[in-house]
Amino acid sequence: MQQVAKIFFVLFFAKNIYADSLAYAYNSALEFDYLVKNQEYKVKIQEEKYKDSLGDLLFNLKLNSQYVINNFTYNDKDYNAGYKRLYLSFSLPIFKLSNYTNIKEQNYNLEIEKLENINTKQELALRVANAYFDLVFANISLKLAKSYNNTHSLKLEQVKANKNSSELELFQAKISLDKSNLEVNKAKKNLKSAILNIKNITGKEIKVSELKFINTTYFEKLDLQKYKEYKNNFSYKKELLQEKIADNNILEKKGEFLPELSLNSYLSNIYYNDKNYSKNKKNDFSLYFNFSIPIFTKSNLGHKLEKERLNKLLKANKLNQIKDEITILQTNTIDDFESLLEEVKINFLALENAKIYEELVQKSYTKKEQELIDVLNAQANLYKNKLEALKSVHSLIISYLKLESLIGELDKDKLIKLDKLMMF
């Protein structure tokens, strides 16, 4: 029996009807969720910012025109020195450190936005999975509640029909029936809430059917050691990039102390308004290097550089803090997963025992060795075990998905894998 428990966790057998898969629900949510769409736009915007920063390394070529008015008097004689100028200007940055630091910063920001995109989809996958299995649970819970209610209704009739039943037994049966009526009402309310919740997430009516079994062997063979790798966590990766940006900002501030070098040239035609003042100049070409070095600016005071150094220390401290928090969270989630896996096995064995017990009571009843009340009690116990089994499976799956999300590997493929482990 224990060997069987390691292979399949059986809830109960029911007629298989059409049901939407977990992966289908997730795909629907991806198309519907505005947070995912917003983050995808942010990635595209940042891609354009990165491309724009690369343009700072390219040359600039401009066609310019000027009209200059310059009238003056010299030695009691009026002069018109105005002119029209048409020229082509070319400039190429050879060295300007801020151009390179800006490119690095935009690239880091792009990586952050891509990480945010992955994380947004992971969080959506968790919400979809929770909503999906809430709906599965709500469906089965209602059916079990109705079965449980029917059992208590039959028990009440049995007590009423038995002339030897005491008034205390009668009221106990009525109270049990009232409680089961409340459970049915609660289960109906939960089902409506679950249907609405998954529709709000996916934008569609998702159909689910009764879970017949789930392969637990996959979970037992998982290498839990890989879920302890904090470096794959989204928060750690993001903060690591923030630390790199802080390093880059320090380099940028240091660059304000360095010289800049560029190549420039002009090709122009000048047409003077008064030809007697000066002759026109055509194809006037000049080529020169522009070199500048800061001697004194407010940056030389070093306040900006010190601010960035302090910011780097802050980011490094925060990175260590996040590392510790992730390590604790991963350890707790692994412990929770192992506990739930054991709980699933225990609940399965309890369910198998409850089934065997119910069958034995049924046989004894047909031989008139047991009363109907004993059969109804055995059935009620079986329903309780089914419900507990389903709860533990639900919790186990969500715990597993959290493990995957903590190392950044919760994606559509994992949900497809889950679909293959389950049969509806």
Q: CA 302, 303, 308, 313: dihedral to nearest 10 degrees?
A: 100
DSSP letter for 12, please.
-
Q: Residue 12 pLDDT > 60, yes or no?
A: no
Q: What is the pLDDT of residue 423?
A: 65
Query: Please, which residues have CB within 8 angstroms of residue 3's CB and are 6 or more apart in sequence?
Result: none
Q: Residue 201 pLDDT > 80, yes or no?
A: yes
Query: Please, which residues have CB within 8 angstroms of residue 372's CB and are 6 or more apart in sequence?
Result: 154, 158, 365
Give the full edge-to-edge strand order of the sheet including 281-292: 60-68, 83-95, 260-272, 281-292
**Residue pLDDT, tens place only, 61-102:** 999 999 999 888 888 888 888 999 999 999 999 999 999 999
Both structure tokens of 343: 């709980």
User: With contact defined as beta carbons under 8 Å apart, do 27 and 230 qualify?
Assistant: no
User: With contact defined as beta carbons under 8 Å apart, do 400 and 219 qualify?
Assistant: yes
Closest CA to 215 of 389, 10, 17: 10
What separation in angstroms does the CA of 109 have from each of 1, 359, 381?
55, 64, 57
Q: Residue 298 pLDDT > 90, yes or no?
A: no
Region label for 84, one of left (φ > 0), alpha (ψ between -120 and 50) or beta (otherwise): beta
Q: Which residues pair with 111 in a beta bridge?
A: none
**Residue pLDDT, tens place only, 312-329:** 999 999 999 999 999 999
- pLDDT, mean of residues 279-295: 89
Query: Please, which residues have CB within 8 angstroms of residue 239's CB and are 6 or more apart in sequence?
Result: 315, 318, 319, 322
| 3-state DSSP helix/strand/coil % of the chain, to nearest 5 | 70, 15, 15
Homologous superfamily (CATH) for 2-59+96-260+299-423: Outer membrane efflux proteins (OEP) (1.20.1600.10)
Q: What is the pLDDT of residue 273?
A: 87
User: With contact defined as beta carbons under 8 Å apart, do 206 and 19 qualify?
Assistant: no
Query: Please, which residues have CB within 8 angstroms of residue 424's CB and are 6 or more apart in sequence?
Result: 16, 17, 19, 208, 209, 210, 211, 212
User: With contact defined as beta carbons under 8 Å apart, do 121 and 30 qualify?
Assistant: yes
Q: Which residue has the tokens 């343009």?
A: 55
Q: pLDDT-based confidence at 7, cuts 50/70/90? A: very low
Q: What is the pLDDT of residue 18?
A: 63
End-to-end CA distance of the chain: 23
DSSP letter for 1, please.
-
DSSP per position, 23-77: HHHHHHHHHH-HHHHHHHHHHHHHHHHHHHHHGGGS-EEEEEEEEE--EEEETTE
Q: pLDDT-based confidence at 110, cuts 50/70/90? A: very high
Both structure tokens of 239: 């903060």
- pLDDT, mean of residues 361-390: 85
Q: Where are the beta strands (DSSP E) in 302-410?
A: none
Q: Distance between CA atoms of 95 and 259, rounded to whole angstroms?
A: 8
What separation in angstroms does the CA of 53 have from each of 91, 102, 105, 115, 257?
17, 7, 9, 21, 21
Report domain extents, the chain.
2-59+96-260+299-423
Q: Distance between CA atoms of 301 and 353, rounded to whole angstroms?
A: 80
Q: Residue 19 pLDDT > 80, yes or no?
A: no
Percent of the chain with pLDDT over 70: 94
Looking at every residue in the chain, the average pLDDT score rounds to 88
